[in-house]
Chains A and B, each alone.
Chain A
């Protein structure tokens, strides 16, 4: 049951998008999201939609995998669409009880829905095609300028990559502890909310204890290898822009220019 978390998980494949520099993908995602909010018309959404579909095809991601990742936002999506549909003032085309559906409402709901779907798809393409390690090293480089303002960029990036690295380990640990307590007769499935919350204690306490133990062990191992933070630290695989990144940036510029030319 804990294994169904696909959102944000890396999907290994051999593709141009996978090989792009993580900085390109990160900045590209930001540009795409900004562009999404600049589009106001049907043609704009068509452009953005075909861009997303092209990128998914280029990245060789199975559509089923993408759709599965959308499931968690389904509720939010419906919620937003219904509110937009019913509460936008304008030219009324249908009425029911205290609600009225307007022409503007239909457009607003449709555009809002499409925008949200593409926003989530766009950003999950980045996480699907970039390993967590590359992603954090890309972010470290993109936000590198913040070092001037004494923001510990490297340390934050390291924390993020360690946290990501530990997610599968902790999930496995949780599974193991649950089974061990079930073997001692623990019951997580029946009873009211209070009983169920109480039933979590035998899982959470060992999980916390083992997280601290792991953290301590990791810190010791890092110190043993003379880790001392980002100062003067070099990379085994430094990030390097290639020609494909140039092409990607040109496409993105095309997308932004498109925003201003589409009516």
Chain B
């Protein structure tokens, strides 16, 4: 069970004078159960790439295999792929349209051919796992707060029971508390349900703490695909792509440069504190 992208090329405005190559020879394997961070500057092609993964954009060259089957085959069912690869777009709350929260979350599973009961169970479960309390499920989605709306929208995709959940900048425009809340929630979903999560972001801080694997994309090409620690050791290269390493990794690096005996590969504040205390005490 996996998603394999094999030498994907995609052009914008193909056949016109504006033609540009948006994705260049992308090859990726996404096995089951990983928590992946996909990082790239604005316009690097990350949103284009994830839309290939559920078939919303068709690659100009190359193939994509989902669980061993070519998704560009004539008899391959796109609805099946869309169900199993859930895609949450940027500002997903802008897609809410129904009169009540529960109805909106039901939209996905009903389209995907769930029976009424299955759909209701899935929708209710999804709302639970994003932390929407029972008294809100019959409220209008337009009455909720920004963070709640976003969680409802995520539930709308989660209710389709995907095997892979892709989120495009899920924390954009949220305050720090809302950000942490969304990221924790994703971690929980990942751990409890064993869903593969692909978190798309331009912020290293967001992904450093949660992702097991980091894919860095720049100008339509994959530049790094490795463990976060390894990726962050290339701070100079990342800076050239307009990306910053997490602040505490940066700080620890500078302390180490000053001659302190600390671990320069710390990713989170907790790790940094531990390393500094270990040296000082």
Contact B82 A185 (CB under 8 A): yes
From 79 to 106 in chain B, residues with beta carbon under 8 angstroms from any chain A beta carbon are 79, 82-83, 86-89, 92, 94-97
Contact B56 A185 (CB under 8 A): no
Please, which residue of chain A has its CB at the minimum distance from the CB of B166? A183
User: Counting CB contacts under 8 A, is A201 at the interface?
Assistant: yes
Main secondary structure of the interface of B (DSSP, over half): helix
Please, which residue of chain B has its CB at the minimum distance from the CB of A205? B97
- In the complex, how many residue pairs between chain A and chain B have their CB atoms under 8 Å apart? 58
User: Counting CB contacts under 8 A, is B65 at the interface?
Assistant: no
> Would you give the shortest CB distance from B80 to chain A, in whole angstroms?
10
Contact residues in B for A177 (Cβ distance below 8 Å): 94-95
User: Counting CB contacts under 8 A, is A184 at the interface?
Assistant: yes
Please, which residue of chain A has its CB at the minimum distance from the CB of B159? A184
Q: Once bound together, how far apart are the Cα atoms of A166 and B89, in whole Å?
A: 22
Interface string of A37-60 (1 = CB under 8 A from B): 000000000000000000000000
Q: How large is the interface on B (under 10, 10 to 19, 20 to 34, 35 or more residues)?
A: 20 to 34
User: Counting CB contacts under 8 A, is B160 at the interface?
Assistant: yes
Q: Once bound together, how far apart are the Cα atoms of A220 and B142, in whole Å?
A: 21
Contact B94 A206 (CB under 8 A): yes
Contact B82 A181 (CB under 8 A): no
Contact residues in B for A152 (Cβ distance below 8 Å): none
Q: Which of A173, A176, A185, A209 contacts B108 (CB 8 A)?
A: A185
Q: A173-B94, A181-B107, A183-B89 are in contact. List 17 more A-B contacts (CB 8 A).
A: A176-B89, A179-B56, A183-B54, A183-B82, A183-B86, A183-B87, A183-B157, A184-B82, A184-B95, A184-B111, A184-B157, A185-B83, A185-B107, A186-B107, A187-B79, A206-B96, A210-B94
Contact residues in A for B265 (Cβ distance below 8 Å): none
Contact A180 B97 (CB under 8 A): no
User: Counting CB contacts under 8 A, is A168 at the interface?
Assistant: no
Contact residues in B for A182 (Cβ distance below 8 Å): 56, 82
User: Counting CB contacts under 8 A, is A202 at the interface?
Assistant: yes
> Would you give the shortest CB distance from B104 to chain A, in whole angstroms?
9
How many of chain A's residues have a CB under 8 angstroms from any CB in B? 18
Known contacts A176-B89, A179-B51: does B111 contact A186 (CB below 8 Å)? yes
From 185 to 235 in chain B, residues with beta carbon under 8 angstroms from any chain A beta carbon are none
Q: Once bound together, how far apart are the Cα atoms of A173 and B95, in whole Å?
A: 10
Q: Which of B79, B83, B95, B111 contacts A180 (CB 8 A)?
A: B95
Contact A209 B82 (CB under 8 A): no
Interface of A toward B, CB cutoff 8 Å: 173, 176-177, 179-187, 201-202, 205-206, 209-210
> Would you give the shortest CB distance from A66 to chain B, in whole angstroms?
16
Contact B112 A185 (CB under 8 A): yes
User: Counting CB contacts under 8 A, is B37 at the interface?
Assistant: no
From 56 to 90 in chain B, residues with beta carbon under 8 angstroms from any chain A beta carbon are 56, 79, 82-83, 86-89
Q: Once bound together, how far apart are the Cα atoms of A183 and B55, in whole Å?
A: 9
User: Counting CB contacts under 8 A, is B170 at the interface?
Assistant: no
Contact B142 A209 (CB under 8 A): yes
Q: Once bound together, how far apart are the Cα atoms of A183 and B87, in whole Å?
A: 6
Contact A185 B54 (CB under 8 A): no
Contact A202 B56 (CB under 8 A): no
Contact residues in B for A176 (Cβ distance below 8 Å): 89, 94
Chain B CB within 10 A, most for which of A176, A177, A184, A205: A184
Q: Ordered nearest first, which 9 A-B pairs have the shortest CB separation?
A: A185-B111, A205-B97, A184-B108, A180-B95, A183-B87, A185-B112, A180-B89, A202-B97, A206-B97
Contact residues in A for B92 (Cβ distance below 8 Å): 180
Contact B54 A184 (CB under 8 A): no
Q: Once bound together, how far apart are the Cα atoms of A185 and B95, in whole Å?
A: 13
User: Counting CB contacts under 8 A, is B40 at the interface?
Assistant: no
Contact residues in A for B96 (Cβ distance below 8 Å): 206
Q: Once bound together, how far apart are the Cα atoms of A47 and B56, in whole Å?
A: 51
> Would you give the shortest CB distance from A242 to chain B, in whole angstroms?
31
User: Counting CB contacts under 8 A, is B156 at the interface?
Assistant: yes
Q: Once bound together, how far apart are the Cα atoms of A177 and B153, in whole Å?
A: 12
Contact B89 A179 (CB under 8 A): yes
Q: Once bound together, how far apart are the Cα atoms of A118 and B107, in whole Å?
A: 49
> Would you give the shortest CB distance from A160 to chain B, in whole angstroms?
26
Q: Which of A181, A187, A201 contacts B95 (CB 8 A)?
A: A181
> Would you give the shortest CB distance from A195 to chain B, in whole angstroms?
12
Please, which residue of chain B has its CB at the minimum distance from the CB of A202? B97
Q: Once bound together, how far apart are the Cα atoms of A181 and B107, in whole Å?
A: 9
